[in-house]
Amino acid sequence: MSRSGFDHLPRAALAALLPELLLCGQLIDRSGLPHAIAAFGREGMTAIAIEEWQIASPVYTRRMQRALGFVGDDVATIFKGLQLDIGAPPQFMDFRFRVEDRDHGEFWLDHCGALMDVEPMGDDFVVAMCHTIEDPTFDATALATNAHAQIRPIHRPPRRPADRHPMCAWTVTIDPANIAPPVPPNAELVASSAAAGIELGVIDTDDPGRADYSGPLLSDLRFADFSKSALVRIADEVCLQHHLLTLGFMIAVRARLGPDAAAGADPAARAGAGPKAAAMTMGRKHFTGIAGISSERIRAALGLGDDPAALAEVLRLHPAWNPLPYTGVEITETSDTVLLRIPHRSDATADGAWPAMIDADHLAPLDAMARGVNPRFVTQAIATDEHGWTVEMALAPQPFREATEVTLTRYSTGASFTFTDRGIPLPLTVL
């Protein structure tokens, strides 16, 4: 059986952690898109957001369906997938569902954290997110379940009146007459990645608790109802969603950084380093912002301290280093340091995912990750050999200033969002 970085956690801790992992996945965009705006403007940022979700979400949606045994081609299957999608973290993106029959349904958002983030920026940004981005990416997610599914708005922002609730509402229709949109040009780059095909641990059906998501669609997913084995697999799949979305982001960025684009806002490009280096610089900024916020939220969710033992635990659970069969990292601790061992060769480095973005001269994402636990942590590369390299994390006498990339990500209301217990979920039956 494949090993997992989540195996050591008790069931209750896993149930508390999973909403955090889903939310941190949604915040990946909040980390990356400010840098895309700076380099390409609002229209370029919008195009990147569309492409990254279009080419990543069908891959991870189908993976989750297979993992939890709810493969199907109806509206309820589409809705189940949304409940386990980093694009729709529970409560922060508060999706509510109605199923009319197997081919018709509606959903609406009682709360949309993403809208809360962009409304202060004005209607142009709201339209970019709720119209230009949502139309093709909602359909891409639905198409992972049924090629003839279409998602269309009933109403959506800009909100008129300004406090309109629900914030948006949509129909989902499956009809053989619906013509599927063309496959995005770079979709195969994600579909053929190591992340897309990696095999993870099999769920133990004898483990106490729910082993799958067969049966009726539920109004909410209460993760505490799942078995520990299922929670471990879900956590690994959610972390893989992070990597797949990041691969999509980087593919979209590189596609827009041709020879003539290298004179944009990116410092490496302006210095003549070329489009490849410019894309890597943007990727590292993207990684730095989400690395810090994710550490901070994981630490708070599990009530951890701020010492090396707490940092080691956060690293073991951090999406950047999971699932372990993908990244191959090793984490050890002493009384006053934490060592992170990163192999030169892994599926993650072959794909160009987060572990491939750092080296001895580019440790900013690791500094941000460590300082999400304690602002006094500092990292340094201490050893390398033919198999991998090792980073040491230790406490310095004085705290460090928060990285600009983390501060930019923190503008999202998701950075400080608090989950609540909603009690026992209800099955949603056909009307």
Q: Token pair for residue 107?
A: 């959903």
Q: What pLDDT, on the 0 to 100 scale, is given for residue 356? A: 97
Q: What pLDDT, on the 0 to 100 scale, is given for residue 246? A: 97
- pLDDT tens digit sequence for 177-204: 998 888 898 999 999 999 999 999 999 9
Sheet hosting strand 93-101, strand order edge to edge:
93-101, 104-112, 168-174, 149-155
Which element (helix H / strand E) includes 395? strand 388-395
CB 309 within 8 A of CB 303: no
- Does the pLDDT value for residue 299 go beyond 80? yes
What average pLDDT does the segment 28-57 reach?
94
- pLDDT tens digit sequence for 310-356: 999 999 999 999 999 999 999 999 889 999 999 999 999 999 999 99
Q: Which string of b and e fits 259-281 if b means at least 16 CB within 10 Å?
A: eebbebebebbeeeeebebbbbb
- pLDDT tens digit sequence for 2-18: 689 999 999 999 999 99
> Model confidence at 430, in pLDDT bands (50, 70, 90)?
low
Q: What pLDDT, on the 0 to 100 scale, is given for residue 266? A: 43
Q: What percent of the chain has pLDDT over 70?
A: 95
Task: Give the Å distances, CA to CA, from 81 to 6, 149, 256, 338, 418.
Answer: 22, 14, 30, 37, 23
- Does the pLDDT value for residue 211 go beyond 90? yes
CB 297 within 8 A of CB 20: yes
Q: What pLDDT, on the 0 to 100 scale, is given for residue 253? A: 95
- Does the pLDDT value for residue 102 go beyond 90? yes
| pTM of the predicted protein model | 0.95
**Strands 377-384 and 388-395, sheet pairing:** antiparallel
Using CA atoms, how far apart are residues 153 and 150, in angstroms rounded to an integer? 10
Q: What pLDDT, on the 0 to 100 scale, is given for residue 431? A: 57
- pLDDT tens digit sequence for 261-281: 433 344 444 444 577 899 999
Using CA atoms, how far apart are residues 351 and 348, in angstroms rounded to an integer? 5
**Strands 330-333 and 337-343, sheet pairing:** antiparallel
What average pLDDT does the segment 19-30 reach?
96
- pLDDT tens digit sequence for 399-421: 999 999 999 999 999 999 999 98
- Does the pLDDT value for residue 60 go beyond 80? yes
Q: Could you give the residue ranges of the DSSP H alpha helices within 68-208?
A: 75-82, 113-118, 123-127, 134-143, 187-191, 194-197
- pLDDT tens digit sequence for 218-276: 999 999 999 999 999 999 999 999 999 999 999 999 999 865 443 334 444 444 457 78
- pLDDT tens digit sequence for 130-152: 999 999 999 999 989 999 999 99
Q: Which string of b and e fits 308-338 if b means at least 16 CB within 10 Å?
A: bebbbbbbbbbbbbbbbbbbbbebebeeebb
Q: What pLDDT, on the 0 to 100 scale, is given for residue 275? A: 78
Q: What pLDDT, on the 0 to 100 scale, is given for residue 276? A: 85
What average pLDDT does the segment 361-371 reach?
98
What average pLDDT does the segment 28-54 reach?
94
Q: What pLDDT, on the 0 to 100 scale, is given for residue 180? A: 85
Using CA atoms, how far apart are residues 97 and 172, in angstroms rounded to an integer? 10
End-to-end CA distance of the chain: 42
Q: Cα 211 to the chain's mean position, in Å? A: 23
Q: What pLDDT, on the 0 to 100 scale, is given for residue 183? A: 87
